[in-house]
Amino acid sequence: MDELKKLIAQIEALKSPEGGYTKEVLMSLGVPWPPPKGWKRKLIKQAKAMKRERKIFTSLERKAVLESHGSTCYLCQRPIDLKALWHIDHVVPFSKGGDDDMANLRPTHKVCNELKGTTDIRSVQFAAAWNKRAGAQ
């Protein structure tokens, strides 16, 4: 929360004496002119995302994620062969603000996770598309 306050303060410091943002300042931040609605919120979100780093999971953490879901792929519900490559997937994608808490992590087959991409698996659209794909196999 403190980082967010600092970021907002930095953006606020760029205001002109009249209280607005000049075209030059906004364009230097990568904001198009005229600025679209919600530009400040989007800029803060992008800045926060750039500061985040992906976690490297230890073998114990990987094992805990796998065991907490019965050694099955969260997406296709088939068993995961421990000798094969498998991924730890984020229910809410990392790229969309998801975190590395155990509640947000699921074991998946490599191919299942790659097919899913950065889609939020909680979405109705994803569920419908995934079920259609699974039925075609």
Task: For the chain, list the domains and their CATH numbers.
Answer: 2-51 (no CATH), 59-135 (1.10.30)
Q: How high is the pLDDT of residue 118?
A: 75
Mean of the per-residue pLDDT values for the chain?
Answer: 78
- The stretch 90-97 carries a mean pLDDT of 78
Alpha carbon distances (Å) from 34 to 4, 15, 21, 28? 25, 16, 11, 13
Q: How far apart are the first and last CA of the chain?
A: 46
- The stretch 83-108 carries a mean pLDDT of 85
Q: How high is the pLDDT of residue 137?
A: 47
Kind plus residue range of the DSSP H or E element containing 134: helix 124-135
Tell me the pairing of strands 86-90 and 105-109.
antiparallel
